[in-house]
Amino acid sequence: MRVVSHSFCILLLHFAQFRIALAFSAGKDVSKLTEKIKGIDAAGLLGEPFLESRRSNVASFKVMDVLARATELESQGRKIYHLEVGQPSSGAPSKVVAAATAALSRDRIGYTHALGISPLRKRISQHYKDKYEVDVDPERIIVTTGSSAGFLIAFLAAFDAGDSVALCSAGYPCYRNILNALGCEVTTVPINAESKVTQKELKEVVDAGKKPRGLILSSPSNPTGAMLSPEELRGLCEYCEQEGILFISDEIYHGISFGKEEETALKFSDKCMVINSFSKYYSMTGWRLGWMVMPPGLVDAGNRLAQNLYINAPTLSQLAAVEAFDCEAELEAHVARYAENRRVVLAALDDMGVTSRAPSDGAFYVYADVGRFTRDAEGLCRRALEEAGVAFTPGTDFEDPTGPVGGSRVRFSFCGSTRDVREGMEALTQWWLKEFEEVLSTVQKELS
């Protein structure tokens, strides 16, 4: 609409200038016509020459929109319970904070190599040996400005505009948004009854003539919490190698699981790409630090991109993060808290009649189907925030926008304090039972 208005006004301006030229040549007064031209520009229609690019026309990250409104309400004195954003309430590990404090007085905090400082890359390599019994060459590791920069480097290094990249039908929204901004095509792979994408689901897409250039998925998953078993992960890695599909394994929720075994894709393939972060398990969201393990043939491309996109990940964060791998007791205490919070959320949802849910075997989310109550998840989230003071996120943020189910699903994050999670779910339950009294009455009759 803005482009049409701008083009129309340019045409109008040219016409007015033509009339002025004719009038002036005939010796007529042109002051009124001149004022009309000024009026066009004063309307602001010609004063906005820099319009948004087509590639910037991506969907907003709705989680952050909900957070912004919740923060606005808090600034007005409202008590808001945050079940919307995946940000642990705990801060960085104590050893990390101490290392950062020491570095500030000891180090210059200048630029580093674009790939990251050697001590951190070596420590990440050792982490794979200790946790997964996998040997990873430190030279394949790139330290990034959070996993978000990792996604950008991965997509730019491996894909060209027009390439197709496969995503789960329920997944992290920024995958889709970044790919759209880069001009890549997105191929949606429907999740199965267990909220997963395995070799079987990907093969069905390939057999249907929609073979992608790459596949990215997370296990544990955001938003579903579903986890691939080691056998399922192996099958996916082997199938991607067989078909020439680059598998990008998002492992940022590794370390946060509830009774399920987690494995890295690097155990089964050296042709895959792995992305991880210090934000979730290590509780270092604002430190903006992550890493990626590249296939050997893409390391140089990743290095050049990092040099040009952000020079290097935050130096202070890198220096401090070396200590993060030696804080297991502190970090496992957080996971124990998440497990209790998960129990609280699931019990409250049972009381609310929200019993259709994804597994929540890992990460710190519950992804629930509220279709028996509403098909307008965004409206539901707005009302719950404004009226009950509880912030959570609509499924439209995570689902294929062309699909039918996003409006009937919502995500709850339970990485806050147990007290806040419990009080938030109590406030939501009280509001919910009143809001959906008639629906719940009908459900009770059906069950009796």
CATH code of the domain made up of 60-90+329-447: 3.90.1150.10
The closest alpha carbon to 101, from 284, 319, 277, 280, belongs to 319
pLDDT at 400: 86
User: Tokens 């339950």 label which residue?
Assistant: 429
Transcribe 382-436 into DSSP letters.
HHIIIII-EE-EEGGGTB-TTSS-GGGEEEEE--S-HHHHHHHHHHHHHHHHHHT
**Beta strands at 273-277 and 246-250: parallel, antiparallel or unpaired:** parallel
> For 100-121, what is the mean pLDDT?
96
pLDDT at 4: 46
SS3 at position 154: helix
> For 278-302, what is the mean pLDDT?
98
> For 234-252, what is the mean pLDDT?
98
d(CA 359, CA 368): 10
pLDDT-derived band at 85, boundaries 50, 70, 90: very high
pLDDT-derived band at 115, boundaries 50, 70, 90: very high
d(CA 84, CA 395): 11
pLDDT at 2: 45
d(CA 63, CA 85): 6
List beta partners, residue 393. Answer: 411
8 pLDDT exceeds 60? no
pLDDT-derived band at 335, boundaries 50, 70, 90: very high
Q: For residue 147, how many C-alpha atoms fall within 13 Å in the half-sphere facing its CB?
A: 21
Transcribe 255-290 into DSSP letters.
T-BSS-----GGGT-SSSEEEEESSSTT--GGG--E
- State the average pLDDT for the chain: 92
DSSP code, position 189: E
pLDDT at 38: 56
List beta partners, residue 168. Answer: 189
d(CA 79, CA 388): 9
Phi, psi dihedral angles at 276 (to 5 degrees): -140, 175
73 pLDDT exceeds 60? yes
Token reading at 207: 């057999």
Alpha helices in 26-116 (DSSP H): 31-42, 62-75, 94-106
List beta partners, residue 391. Answer: 82
> For 336-345, what is the mean pLDDT?
99
d(CA 325, CA 123): 8
> For 133-153, what is the mean pLDDT?
98
Cβ neighbours of 27 (radius 10 Å): 7
For the chain, the farthest-separated pair of C-alpha atoms sits apart, in whole angstroms, at: 92
d(CA 243, CA 239): 6
DSSP code, position 19: H
Phi, psi dihedral angles at 53 (to 5 degrees): -75, 155
12 pLDDT exceeds 90? no
360 pLDDT exceeds 50? yes
In CATH, the architecture of 94-325 is 3-Layer(aba) Sandwich (3.40)
5 pLDDT exceeds 70? no
> For 386-406, what is the mean pLDDT?
91
Distances in whole angstroms, Cα of residue 108 to Cα of each of 102, 105, 315, 374, 383: 11, 8, 10, 56, 50
pLDDT at 326: 98
264 pLDDT exceeds 90? yes
> For 286-312, what is the mean pLDDT?
98
> For 129-149, what is the mean pLDDT?
98
> For 301-311, what is the mean pLDDT?
98
pTM over 0.85: yes
